[in-house]
Amino acid sequence: QDDKYTLCLALEKLSKIIRQTNPLKAVEVASLAEKTYASLPDASPYNIIYSKLNVCEALLFADSLQKAGNKCEEALVIAIKLKDPNVLSDVYQDMSAIERQRQDYRKALYLSKTSFNSYPSFDVSKALNLATAYLDADSLSSCNKLLNSIHTDNAEYKYIAFNIRHLASIKAHDYDKAYNYADSAYRYLEQMYGNQLDSKQEYYNSLVKTKYERVLLKEKRD
């Protein structure tokens, strides 16, 4: 139907789905989404930025760090012109991920701090990203202090936080704490999987009910 807007969305979703199983194909698909969207006459600069960041993330999975860095720089140029703190924060976070993969932990920490401080409000995911950067740079006291400021009921975030504490305790040679934090992390990991299974069961129950109602309706019509 020549609907390029929906095509771009589909390509972006597909690139994310296949990142781990086929990273090179994911880069190809993400790049196609970026080029297709950029060709639209009323392309939003915000969407252009995020299409570039999607390519960047695909390149990270494909271990193409130089190309990922270049793509992130392209996104940064547009983000600086927009002067939108939310967008700038997201770009700096991806730049931090690149430096972390390069094992330049000091630079990754600087970029993660910039991302965290650029965001207009406290964001748990960005705080966890910064805590990880502190951990990598061996700033354990700053890491734990930041983790103490995080309050969330999200099982996934709790799992990540306890896992970071676990790794920080190992670095500090406090193995009793490391054991306890690992136990807590595992508990929230189980909760995450439990929630997923509950959601799936709810979906399947709904599906069975819908099919059953259709059969009854068909019988009445016949």
pLDDT digits (tens, 9 = 90+) for 18-32: 999 999 999 999 999
Q: Comparing 96-105, 119-128, 198-207, which segment has the lowest mean pLDDT?
A: 198-207
| CA triple 21-101-124, angle to 5 deg | 90
Give the model's pLDDT for residue 118. Answer: 93
Cβ pair 179, 194 in contact under 8 A: no
pLDDT band at 209 (very low <50, low <70, confident <90, very high): low
Q: pTM of the predicted model, to two decimals?
A: 0.81
User: Quick one: CA dihedral 50, 51, 54, 60, positive or negative?
Assistant: negative
Q: What is the pLDDT of residue 65?
A: 94
- Which run of H or of E encompasses 79? helix 65-82
Cα–Cα distance measured from residue 45 to residue 159, given in angstroms and rounded to the nearest whole number: 35
Percent of the chain with pLDDT over 70: 87
Question: Per-residue pLDDT averaged across 108-132, rounded?
Answer: 95
Looking at residue 25, its pLDDT comes to: 97
CA distance 86 to 83: 9
Euclidean distance between CA atoms 181 and 152, whole angstroms: 17
- Taking only the tens place, the pLDDT of each residue in 128-183 is 999 999 999 999 999 999 999 999 998 889 989 999 999 999 999 999 999 999 89
pLDDT band at 195; cut points 50, 70, 90? low
Instruction: Give pLDDT, residue 115.
Output: 96
Answer with the residue of higher pLDDT: 117 or 221: 117
d(CA 9, CA 50): 12
Instruction: Kindly report which listed range (54-63, 155-164, 192-201, 213-222) carries the lowest average pLDDT score.
Output: 213-222
Strands (E), 31-179: none
Split at pLDDT 50, 70, 90, the class of 105 is very high
Read off the pLDDT band of 198 (50, 70, 90): low
